[in-house]
Structure 1
Amino acid sequence: MKKLVVTALSVVLSTGLLAGCGSGNEPAEATSAGEAKMKEIQISVRESTWGARKDNFIEAEKRLNEELKADNVHVKIDWWPGIGDDELILQAQAGKVADIFMNSSVDIGWELNAGIIRDVDWVKDSKVFKNVPDSYTNIMKYDGHYYGAIQDMDASPVFISRKALEGLSWTKEQIDGLRQRVDSGDFTFGDLEKLAEEAKQKNLVKMGFAVEDTRFEGWNYAFGNYNYNVDENKMVLTKKTKDVYEFWADAVKRGIINESIGDVDTDKAAPMFVKGEIFAEFARTEFYQMMREANGMQNDLEGFNTWFNKNIVWIPIPSAEKGGKPVSYSNPAMIYVGPTVDDEKMPYVQRLIEHVLDPDLQINHTLVSGKLPVTPEAQEDKRFKEMDFYKDHAYLLEFTKTRPAQPDYATYTKSYILGVDAILTKGQSAEQAYELFQKDAKQNVPSDHLIIEQ
């Protein structure tokens, strides 16, 4: 069972607020022979080469400079190496803070405490985000201000082996109608669990459930365990956690989940799922792309879609309650702005970021990364509409939840996983796991950051 490692957070807590971090990238002026003096604005950007992120910044730089010609202004990106969270903090302590960098939406809290980001309240009135769902606004806001611009998005469907369902004598009509049953609350998490058990008993698959992330948000949410109070910005210790532990204990007993579940990450799961060895894979949008790669069909979208429709069916994560709403979770990337960007420079930083989120550039990133675009305008792109899987499951974003940016979230989750690990590796009961989780959370999460439900 993989352990959750808390690194950057512990460094932040020990260092406190950082101040006086200069980027060394103040606006400069450039001249060219025979031309009027041109003002050059240098913007430092920490490199992220995943998907089309860097390519999109390069193209955004070109587009912005076309607009700025009339103002005799030229923006130049100064590329800095991408680094991890711990090094991000250490470099900031040494005064080296980039103007723009990317990180997870969950990182707002500790980044703000560390003094390595500033507010970007222009997001509220930006034309880019005028049509996004309210849930996106919640992702970008923290403690009354906007601190990031959402860069990409995903949801978390459950990918199910169509072949296994056929082996259980399900008809095409039953399989194709499964998603509607989940959406209406007719098909529950318990129903899915029973199918996985039956598929294993009949040797149709080797594993019942595999999951992308050992924080298991989707399974918590299915049982109504949301562990975070947005209004008070506190973690919540609720007895609903015991319900989730009871599922874990039952699923282990029935052989649907085994001790190795935390070791089967998506890199391992994709080829296994393609071979039909896993009944249900709980993963995010990008797993579609990973299966395509596992099939060797990176350059054959049409062929892969044919294979996908013959072998896979996907659904939202079903509610544990009959009649309940399905759930989905995500961990979107955010574009952050460093604290040394002043009010004079911010308009150029803003316009660069807005161009990165041009609809066609968002789809360029979708094609390479498997992530979803964040604006409705991008979803109108012809290329997006031609990708049935992406187009059809974009509705999940309406109810997709994200991990809280609360700085104690990682500590709280570590306590929760102690209980999961006790069930998986020590054979402990749900009650024992809950007591272990409760004791550890009370000891390690500050009492003024924790709501304890009675």
Structure 2
Amino acid sequence: MATQKATMMYAVLLIIGLIIGVAIGYAIKPAPPAAAPTTVTQTVTSTSVITKTVTAAAGPQEIVIRAMTVGPDEPSYNRFENLKRAAELLNKMLADAGIPVTVKVEGEFWTGSWEDYKNKLLMMFQAGEAPDIILSGHEDIAPWAEAGYILPLDDFIAKYKGLWFFDDMIPSLWDSVKYKGKIWGIPQDTEARPLYFRKDLLKDMGWSDEDIEEFKKKAWNGEITLWDLLEICKEAIDKGVIEEGYCIWHRPKRGVDYYQIYLAFGGILQDPETGKLVLDKKAMLNMMKWLHDAVHKYKALRSDMIGLDWKIIHENWVAGKLLFWFGGTWQKAEWIKKYNMPEEEFWANIDFIPVPPGEKGGKPVTLSHPLVYMVSSQSKHPDLAFLIVALATNPLYNAIHAVESGHLAIMYSELSAKKYQEDKWLAVSASLLEFSKFPPNHAKFGTYDEIVFKAMGGVESGELSPEDAVSYIVDQLKAQLGDEIVIKE
């Protein structure tokens, strides 16, 4: 308890220093002399003049910090609410210290598409109207740092080293926010992307509980491959358990999820030494062959998967019409809260494995995509914006977010928070982190992703062969990325 009090007192002293730093520290200095009387002349009519003497009163100040945050899944609303909670905490500290200043967080929690969200942010940046705090994927750090949209946070972190979260953060998450040797964001949450499967559908195929457990064991040990999944799909379709095209689905929009297939075939996305992006032609060809066969040979995947509405995906999954789904740990909360899946039904009928390797003996994979708070270079109060983020990054607030939305802990102390420990799903799904990889932090990864996604759509629709798709990707990457891409033959 004494340690907690000392930590809080240190935090209060830091906050007072910060307030002084943003030019409102007058509040803790000796009171200034009373304001001098001001003579005001007011003309009432053209022939009558009234003179009044008034005294100007200095009142409390309110500083508004603007924030843009995103789900887009609705249960992740605490990404914004935690910033508001942090402002309330800060205001209590300021009031206890006798500082007549309040801080208010205004802004938005976005539940539309990622593409629209990022387009809106870019327009705000370009118009000079960016918010003080921005939440987005860690992969946006590189392009936004290069464009001068966000601030490096190393000096803020050094200045406020006494605040609790710096040494408590799971170390690998700091790596996700580094670019060119500097820290540009504060992790807000992380997750993993499992391959979900429906136990009830496997049982409809004749599998026993023991068969399902053996399947899981082999999958976690790398003894089940992506090709094996397609054979299971064929069996399910042949037995009439599922319809053609309804066995294994992936996300319908651009995103990092489908790179798990590329990684499962041994691909890498970035050279750890040079930082350059990498395309492994063999791994990409195997990914494209797998997608091609999933659609056109095994009839396991819809040819119009790309562009499908998210609502259609989740409704079919909850209704038990899909066997496998490349999903995310956060979606369990979405199925229960938005799509009315009973908790007991989830545990009875749904399970997960990491994404299997492309070949037996390989290692399963999952991608983690940390969302991070960043401070805009256009902020008038960057110190204060950073402090709000720091106060929002605490075990209690983050545990509330994790439990409500199905995301994973970012701090060791969060793992021991009562609310977190009581959530069975978070404890189980955390086992995926052993296999986690991160998307690259590179200013041109968006271009890389756009090219791969277009080729992927061509393969699934039947417009491109796997070989033609890889040729297209190689040609476009060389043309658009130049020296920033390494093609591995």
Normalising to structure 2: TM-score of the pair?
0.78
CA distance in 2, matches of 1:80, 1:350: 16
Q: 1:62 aligns with which of 85, 88, 110?
A: 88
Asked if 2 retains the 8 angstrom alpha-carbon contact of 1:418 and 1:436, the reply is: no
Asked if 2 retains the 8 angstrom alpha-carbon contact of 1:28 and 1:39, the reply is: no
**Which shows bigger deviation, 133-142 or 38-47?**
38-47
Asked if residue 381 in structure 1 is aligned to residue 423 in structure 2, the reply is no
SS in structure 2 opposite 1:355? helix
- Could you give the per-residue CA deviations for residues 292-313 of structure 1, whole angstroms, max 9, x where no partner exists? 135525xxxxxx3321122111
> 1:241 corresponds to which residue?
284
Asked if 1 retains the 8 angstrom alpha-carbon contact of 2:130 and 2:379, the reply is: no
**Structure 1 residues 87 and 166: alpha-carbon distance in aligned structure 2, compared to 1, 3 A threshold:** closer
> 1:46 corresponds to which residue?
67
Specify the code of the residue in structure 1 equivalent to 2:203. Answer: E
Asked if 1 retains the 8 angstrom alpha-carbon contact of 2:455 and 2:472, the reply is: yes
Deviation at 1:426, TM superposition (A): 2.9
Asked if residue 370 in structure 1 is aligned to residue 406 in structure 2, the reply is yes
CA distance in 1, matches of 2:59, 2:180: 39
**Structure 1 residues 222 and 309: alpha-carbon distance in aligned structure 2, compared to 1, 3 A threshold:** same
Specify the code of the residue in structure 1 equivalent to 2:139. Answer: V
CA RMSD of aligned residues (A): 2.9
Specify the code of the residue in structure 1 equivalent to 2:293. Answer: D
CA distance in 2, matches of 1:129, 1:321: 40
Q: 1:286 aligns with which of 330, 339, 358?
A: 330
Asked if 1 retains the 8 angstrom alpha-carbon contact of 2:134 and 2:373, the reply is: yes
After TM superposition, the structure 1 = structure 2 runs for residues 391-410 of structure 1, keeping only pairs within 5 Å, are 391-410=427-446
CA distance in 2, matches of 1:306, 1:54: 30
CA distance in 1, matches of 2:128, 2:285: 46
Specify the code of the residue in structure 2 equivalent to 1:280. Answer: F
CA distance in 2, matches of 1:400, 1:346: 32
**Structure 1 residues 41 and 141: alpha-carbon distance in aligned structure 2, compared to 1, 3 A threshold:** farther
> 2:261 corresponds to which residue?
219
Asked if residue 268 in structure 1 is aligned to residue 303 in structure 2, the reply is no
Q: Matched residue pairs, number?
A: 420
Asked if residue 107 in structure 1 is aligned to residue 144 in structure 2, the reply is no
Deviation at 1:40, TM superposition (A): 5.6
> 2:129 corresponds to which residue?
96
Specify the code of the residue in structure 1 equivalent to 2:308. Answer: V
Asked if residue 77 in structure 1 is aligned to residue 98 in structure 2, the reply is no
> 1:425 corresponds to which residue?
461
Asked if 2 retains the 8 angstrom alpha-carbon contact of 1:220 and 1:244, the reply is: yes
Asked if residue 258 in structure 1 is aligned to residue 302 in structure 2, the reply is yes
**Structure with larger RCO (C-alpha < 8 A, sep 6+):** 1
CA distance in 2, matches of 1:340, 1:377: 33
SS in structure 2 opposite 1:48? strand
Q: 2:451 aligns with which of 400, 415, 418?
A: 415
Q: 1:186 aligns with which of 208, 223, 234?
A: 223
Deviation at 1:157, TM superposition (A): 0.8
CA distance in 2, matches of 1:26, 1:123: 17
Deviation at 1:421, TM superposition (A): 2.3
CA distance in 1, matches of 2:299, 2:146: 43
> 2:470 corresponds to which residue?
434
CA distance in 2, matches of 1:233, 1:340: 28
Q: 1:128 aligns with which of 153, 158, 165?
A: 165
Q: 2:483 aligns with which of 441, 448, 452?
A: 448
CA distance in 1, matches of 2:476, 2:386: 43
CA distance in 2, matches of 1:81, 1:133: 28
After TM superposition, the structure 1 = structure 2 runs for residues 156-167 of structure 1, keeping only pairs within 5 Å, are 156-167=193-204
CA distance in 1, matches of 2:288, 2:298: 14
CA distance in 1, matches of 2:103, 2:369: 30
**Structure 1 residues 167 and 93: alpha-carbon distance in aligned structure 2, compared to 1, 3 A threshold:** closer
Specify the code of the residue in structure 2 equivalent to 1:357. Answer: T
Deviation at 1:337, TM superposition (A): 0.8
**Structure 1 residues 406 and 38: alpha-carbon distance in aligned structure 2, compared to 1, 3 A threshold:** farther
Identity across the alignment (%)? 22
**Structure 1 residues 98 and 379: alpha-carbon distance in aligned structure 2, compared to 1, 3 A threshold:** same
**Structure 1 residues 243 and 93: alpha-carbon distance in aligned structure 2, compared to 1, 3 A threshold:** closer
Specify the code of the residue in structure 2 equivalent to 1:184. Answer: N
- Could you give the per-residue CA deviations for residues 181-226 of structure 1, whole angstroms, max 9, x where no partner exists? 2222222222222212211222212311111255412211211222
Specify the code of the residue in structure 1 equivalent to 2:411. Answer: T
SS in structure 2 opposite 1:150? strand
Asked if 2 retains the 8 angstrom alpha-carbon contact of 1:384 and 1:390, the reply is: yes
CA distance in 1, matches of 2:326, 2:176: 22
Bigger Rg, structure 1 or 2: 2
CA distance in 1, matches of 2:177, 2:435: 16
Normalising to structure 1: TM-score of the pair?
0.83
Specify the code of the residue in structure 1 equivalent to 2:167. Answer: K
CA distance in 2, matches of 1:238, 1:94: 39
Asked if 2 retains the 8 angstrom alpha-carbon contact of 1:151 and 1:333, the reply is: yes
Which ranges in structure 1 are unaligned for 5 or more consecutive residues? 1-24, 298-303
> 1:139 corresponds to which residue?
176
Asked if 2 retains the 8 angstrom alpha-carbon contact of 1:270 and 1:287, the reply is: no
Deviation at 1:346, TM superposition (A): 5.3
Asked if 2 retains the 8 angstrom alpha-carbon contact of 1:155 and 1:396, the reply is: yes
Specify the code of the residue in structure 2 equivalent to 1:77. Answer: K
Asked if 1 retains the 8 angstrom alpha-carbon contact of 2:194 and 2:326, the reply is: yes
Asked if 1 retains the 8 angstrom alpha-carbon contact of 2:408 and 2:430, the reply is: yes
CA distance in 1, matches of 2:59, 2:95: 9
Asked if 1 retains the 8 angstrom alpha-carbon contact of 2:395 and 2:417, the reply is: yes
> 2:235 corresponds to which residue?
198
Deviation at 1:434, TM superposition (A): 1.4
> 1:9 corresponds to which residue?
none
In the TM superposition, structure 1's runs of 4+ consecutive aligned residues that sit over 6 Å from their partners are 29-32, 34-39
CA distance in 1, matches of 2:219, 2:102: 49
